[in-house]
């Protein structure tokens, strides 16, 4: 009796696995998911001694416009800021418009950002001040024991 049950279980499990694998290979289970396309592999080094200049470096990283919250002037802000640094740095800030304004000064004066046209600067500031204003800090609902 027991033997028969185990055999059944094995057969059913294996059959299910094969069916799932078949679907998976056909892409049926991953239809709408973003498919990661790895960068083309580098040409195999001709000389074995060729050092890899990327060894020990941080993993590659790319932000997308969608990583910033939707809103007017999002694209302008994205392309202006991420020419140099990542979106994470923007999103970590919560500043008044005045401090965002002086942040752009800092970028131009100290970090070699090309000067921005007055109109574009104003649009970028509109976006930043709206989406990344000073945050209210305080003991709110973030207590780990309230979950």
Partner 1 sequence: MLRSGTSKASRRNVLKGVGMATIGASLPPVGSALAQGAPAAKGPKLLEMEGKAKLAVLGDKPLVAETQAELLDDNVTPTNKLFIRNNGQVPDVTGDPKAWKVKIDGEVNTPVEISVGDLMSKFPAVTYQLMLECGGNGRSFFSPDARGNQWTNGGAGCPMWTGVRLADVLKSAGLKSSAVYIGSYGADPTLAGETDKPTISRGVPIAKAMEEHTLIAFKLNGQDLPLIHGAPARLVIPGWPASVSTKWLKRIWVRDKEHDGPGMGGFSYRVPKTPIVPGSKGNEKDMAILESMPVRSVITFPADGSKLTSRKLDLRGHAWAGDFEVKTVDISTDYGVTWKPAKVDAPANKYAWQNFSASIELPTTGYYEVWAKATDSKGVTQPFQAANWNPQGYGANPINRIRVLVES
Tell me which of 15, 17, 88, 120 binds partner 1, using CB under 8 A.
88
Which has the closest alpha carbon to 108: 96, 116, 100? 116
Residue 102 CB partners (closer than 8 Å, separation 6+): none
Q: Which residue's structure tokens are 């059959």? A: 15
Tell me which of 87, 104, 124, 128 binds partner 1, using CB under 8 A.
87
CB of 75 to partner 1, least distance (A): 17
Is the CB of 101 or the CB of 123 nearer to partner 1?
101
First to last CA, the chain: 47
Stretch that binds partner 1, among 15-23, 40-48, 71-79, 101-109 (CB under 8 A): 101-109
CB of 46 to partner 1, least distance (A): 15
Is the CB of 73 or the CB of 81 nearer to partner 1?
81
Residue 38 sits in the site that holds partner 1 (CB under 8 A):
no
Stretch that binds partner 1, among 6-14, 21-29, 55-63, 118-126 (CB under 8 A): 55-63
Which has the closest alpha carbon to 124: 105, 139, 140, 143? 105
Q: In the complex, which residues of this chain contact partner 1 (CB under 8 A)?
A: 51-53, 55-59, 61, 63-64, 66-67, 82-89, 91-96, 98-99, 102-103, 106, 109-112, 131-132, 134-135, 137-140, 142-145, 147
């Amino acid at each position: 009796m027991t033997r028969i049950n185990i055999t059944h279980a094995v057969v059913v499990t294996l059959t299910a696995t094969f069916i799932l694998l078949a679907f998976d290979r056909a892409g049926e289970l991953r239809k709408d998911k973003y498919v990661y396309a790895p960068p083309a592999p580098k040409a195999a080094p001709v000389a074995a001694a060729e050092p890899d200049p990327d060894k020990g470096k941080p993993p590659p990283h790319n932000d997308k416009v969608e990583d910033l919250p939707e809103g007017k002037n999002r694209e302008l802000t994205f392309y202006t800021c991420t020419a140099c640094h990542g979106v994470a740095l923007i999103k970590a800030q919560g500043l008044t418009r005045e401090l965002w304004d002086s942040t752009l000064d800092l970028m131009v004066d100290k970090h070699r950002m090309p000067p921005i046209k007055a109109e574009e600067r104003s649009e970028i500031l509109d976006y930043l001040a709206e989406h990344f204003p000073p945050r209210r800090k305080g003991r709110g609902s973030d207590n780990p024991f309230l979950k």
